Amino acid sequence: SSLRVVYAFAREMHPKTTDVFIQYGTAGFRTKASLLEHVVYRMGLLAVIRSRVKNGRTIGMMITASHNLEPDNGVKLIDPEGEMLEESWEAIATRLANVSDNDLESTTAEVIKEVNADMGLKASVFIGMDTRYTSPRLAAAAVHGVMALKGTAKEFGIVTTPILHYCVRCRNDNTYGTPTEEGQFIMNHNHPYGEQMPDGPKSSRMETCYYEKIVGAFKNIRAKLPVHGSYNTTLYVDGANGVGGKKLNIIKKSLDGELDLVLYNLGGNGGKLNLNCGADFVKVSQKPPVGVEHAPFQRVASLDGDGDRIVYYYLDDKNQMNLLDGDKIATLLASYITELLKACEVTELKLGLVQTAYANGASTRYITDDLKVPVSCVKTGVKHLHHAALSYDIGVYFEANGHGTVVYSELAKRTIRKIAQEGEPEQRKAAQLLVNFIDITNETVGDAISDLFLVETVLCARGLSARAWMTAYTDLPCRQLKVTVQDRNVISTADAERTCTSPEGLQSKVDELVAGYKSGRAFVRPSGTEDVVRVYAEAETQEFADQLATEVAQAVY
């Protein structure tokens, strides 16, 4: 059949040239870019199958390796609601990625049968990529995979990961917005033998596109809340030489003094992607990034390479690093939402916070004792946090590394919108702010750009400088290390990765070491993205945290 010809042809173009086993991990497939072409092609096939299982709804494919260095790349699938691929499909993805070229056709047929996909349905896949030089080639492989199974591919070009998540969500739920960035170039690949996709949603439509929605809502709030106190409208940004900074450069033009963005590390001047810069570097090394000019106490927002993480920091007058990480952001947002809910006199909505084992112990104590907000701890990886956050009417989730967002239930949105229209004047005012706050939020996934505008909103509303924000609570000094072992999978964990269940004896050793330190806490977990074991420790002083981390690392080794 014609399908068979296209399929064989496309496969020839993206043959499997390596026998290295690859696994769909916490954030999809991620490895050296040179090992990925056949994987991405096959994920194109899988995206079509997934779309058909979801009744033709749109699936997303993002080509990125996030905060990893330039030689790496990766691919992950996005489900119709804009969420991460359903976990039960990860094994299918892994299987399809690893079969030989000879077995690819039969395995694909098996998968189609197993998941009961109706291959007569149309299928739609949105494809986006980060700024890596290997990304266009991989995006092309994705398109070929999609077309081989008669799906329709729409290429978004270079976008942040969260923008693609947002567009997928909008395509499947047009009440959320229009699935485009503003004025961007979109290429449609309608399969010659397949059903033509009805013209995609047009950017000329009245609904708000990504930038308009976020920036519009931000400006709305600014118009209601004047700048005051120690808040300063200048914000420095470390773009990690990736896509996030580039997008902020577009947004910058539509801001009229509400926020003065000073952008660094936009990828020019030989700046290398994520190299000694970006959110992950800043958080893990606790050092300022290269490529950014610093002024004492000037707040800086540091993004990661694909724009789904953000941390803030400032250097003080002694050039000391003061980090405002995901925990600080989560507590800032949660406390502001709580304040607005109180002003709305809403008591029926339950707000909760979700963290991982990496959350600083001081933040967890602050949330419980001072904010008096319920807090839960889940395994590392956005999908786990996102899922747990959905159990609250308003769920705030953040990893300490700066990945997070807020999710609002339909009930929460309905309740708040109603008060914004019908409440008493004071209630109405607070509810209207909340409505705008919700619109700034990208609820599909953590989004550095959306988070940046949320943080700036709260700081401005409260008249806070970064220094004042810092005083909410004092972080316990902490240290992260990685240990290379022969097989990281010999380590298994329970209790949201806070306890090692194997190898035998390791946890009691860790307990013993921790007991020797005041305010000590430590855990060991196998990485989901790299072939290493990670160690985290915190203690009363930096020296003790470093020492504890080293001792625990030795126990692993």
CB of 333 to ligand 16G, least distance (A): 18
Please name which of 334, 245, 324 lies closest in space to residue 291, comparing C-alpha atoms: 245
Give the nearer residue to ligand 16G in terms of CB position, either 178 or 401. Answer: 401
382 binds, options ligand 16G, Zn ion, none, Cβ within 5 to 8 A by partner type: ligand 16G
Give the nearer residue to ligand 16G in terms of CB position, either 238 or 399: 399
Pick 416 or 452: Cβ nearer Zn ion: 452
> How far is it, in rounded angstroms, from Cα 333 to Cα 326?
10
Closest distance to Zn ion from the beta carbon of 472 (Å): 26
Under 8 Å between Cβ of 39 and 22: yes
Among 2, 34, 51, 66, the active-site one is 66
User: Considering beta carbons, is residue 399 or 439 the nearer one to ligand 16G?
Assistant: 399
Cβ of residue 164: shortest distance to ligand 16G, in angstroms? 12
Contact set for Zn ion, span 292-321 (CB under 5 A)? 304, 306, 308
Distance CA 254, CA 68 (A): 31
User: Counting every residue, how long is the chain?
Assistant: 557
503 upstream amide cis, omega within 30 of 0: yes
- Give the integer Cα–Cα distance in Å for 240 and 50: 33
Report helix, strand or coil for 208. Answer: coil
Q: How far apart are CA 411 and CA 427, in angstroms?
A: 18
97 phi/psi in degrees, rounded to 5: -70, -25
- Tell me the residue number closest to Zn ion, measured at CB: 66
Residue type, 293: E
Alpha carbon of 532 to those of 168, 482, 491, 525, 527: distances in Å? 33, 6, 11, 9, 6
Regarding 66 and contact with Zn ion (CB under 5 A), the answer is yes
The CB-of-397 to ligand 16G minimum distance in angstroms stands at 10
Residue 306: contacted member of Zn ion, ligand 16G, none (CB under 5 to 8 Å, by partner type): Zn ion
Catalytic, 66? Answer yes
Residues that bind ligand 16G (CB under 6 A): 26-27, 66, 380-382, 399, 401, 403, 527-530, 534
Of ligand 16G, Zn ion, none, which one does residue 427 interact with (CB within 5 to 8 Å by kind)?
none
Residue 443: name its binding partner from ligand 16G, Zn ion, none (Cβ under 5 to 8 Å by kind).
none
Q: Among residues 358 and 544, whose Cβ is nearest to ligand 16G?
A: 358
Q: Are strands 310-315 and 321-324 parallel, antiparallel or unpaired?
A: antiparallel
Q: Please, what is the angle between helix 448-462 and helix 210-224, to 10°?
A: 0
Least Cβ distance, residue 286 to ligand 16G (angstroms): 17
Q: Which residues pair with 351 in a beta bridge?
A: 394
Residue 258 binds to Zn ion (criterion: CB under 5 A): no
- For the packed helices 506-515 and 542-556, what is the interaxial angle rounded to 10 degrees? 160
338 is in the binding site of which of ligand 16G, Zn ion, none (Cβ under 5 to 8 A by kind)? Answer: none
Q: Where are the alpha helices (DSSP H) in 463-505?
A: 466-470
- CB of residue 309 vs Zn ion: minimum separation in angstroms? 5
C-beta of 18 vs 26, nearer to ligand 16G: 26
**Residues facing residue 535 across a β-bridge:** 481, 524
Binding partner of residue 534 among ligand 16G, Zn ion, none, CB under 5 to 8 Å per kind? ligand 16G
Catalytic residues: 66
